[in-house]
Amino acid sequence: MSCTSTRRIDATLEAATARWGRSQCRTWTTIANAANVLEDTYLDLNLIGYDFEEDLYYVWFNGGTGVDPAVSGKTGVEVTITSGDTAAVVAAAIKTAVDTADIPCFVTVASDVVTIENQVQGAVTAETDSGATGFTLAVGTVGLSVELGATSGPLDLALSTEAVDIVSNQTGSLIGSQIFTGATAEVSMSLIEVTKERFDILVGEVTGDSVTPVSGTKVTGFGESRLFQSLDELGGQLILHPIRLPVADKSADVVLHRSAPRTESLNFDGSAAQELSVTFTAYLDQGFNTAINLFAKGDWTQKGLRA
């Protein structure tokens, strides 16, 4: 009688898709609920779901006897207020209601100004004060998102760490310890589906720019317009998602919370597919927990990851 043992190597072939973009962010400057003027009023809130599809909401106000306006095709978020509430109290009530609704956005309040940032990148339909609240609406960041398509090779995540050696005169050049001083993360890829949309976003929205003449079409390239601007401010979110997992399973996603694409080359060759080489550098995003605010691997849709 003989026995055999099973040997197992825990390895994975991990092809992934890549998506880059920015989340829509807007502010609402509220008004006081004098004489219950906000009763039954409402305004648009358009979000992007975790499937990267748009979901339409509206925020409505119930001052005691309010009735949900039941806007067709949209989901309502009820805000409970009281007649005579100040603008700041109304703003705080909006945050409470939206947080309780557990929808994909983040709300912060400063006095009478409510800032709502979508959790997921992507463009949304223009929002209006559709139910006459009288609030002042302003867009801070316009959302956009692009799926980067097929690549000619792997998506390469390059990681590095830096440390200072601790040595002493008494022990010569022997390293007694090292102090960690930082890390970098970069993702590089060569795109082979170089559509105009992808080129316009990866070049025209960051290091380059675009011009659309009157009655003409968009032209994208490099010039002086972006000189000396911070790439951090022009950046967005890069998401790598393993294709072996369904879209809803984000457990192995890699996310650079804030990064900017730097395009490096575009070939013109009649015998080979055109490739656009791009590198994304991760920048520190202090809106996230300090443990993961450069880059992270795991389910980024969890609300508890913010600072």
Strands (DSSP E) along the chain, which ranges? 16-22, 25-29, 42-48, 54-62, 75-80, 105-110, 113-118, 136-141, 144-147, 156-166, 177-191, 209-211, 219-221, 236-242, 254-266, 276-282, 296-297
Structure token pair of residue 177: 């310890």
What per-residue confidence (pLDDT) applies to 106? 96
pLDDT-derived band at 8, boundaries 50, 70, 90? confident
Average pLDDT over residues 275-279: 97
pLDDT in tens, 138-185: 999 999 999 999 999 999 999 999 999 999 999 999 999 999 999 999
Strands 177-191 and 54-62: unpaired
**pLDDT averaged over the chain?**
95
CB 60 within 8 A of CB 66: yes
- pLDDT for res 11: 85
What are the φ/ψ torsions at residue 277 (nearest 5 degrees)?
A: -85, 130
What is the CB neighbour count within 10 angstroms for residue 56?
Answer: 16
CATH 1.10.530 assigned to 24-144 = no
Please state, in angstroms and rounded to a whole number, the distance separating the CA atoms of residues 303 and 158: 27
Cα–Cα distance, 79 to 101 (Å, whole number): 10
Domain ranges of the chain: 24-144, 156-305
Q: What is the pLDDT of residues 205-243, one digit of tens each?
A: 999 999 999 999 999 999 999 999 999 999 999 999 999
| pLDDT tier for residue 300 given thresholds of 50, 70 and 90 | very high
Percentage of the chain beyond pLDDT 70 is 98
CA dist., res. 168 & res. 186, Å (int): 34
Specify the pLDDT at position 1: 58
Residue 202: what residue type? L
**16-20: average pLDDT:** 98
Query: Residue 256 pLDDT > 80, yes or no?
Result: yes
Q: What pLDDT, in 10s, does the model give residues 120-134?
A: 999 999 999 999 999
For residue 75, the cross-strand partners are 57
Q: Each residue of 31-41: pLDDT tens digit?
A: 999 999 999 99
CA-CA distance, 236 to 194, in Å (whole number)? Answer: 20
CA separation for the pair 79, 278 (Å, rounded): 45
* Percent of the chain's residues with pLDDT above 90: 95
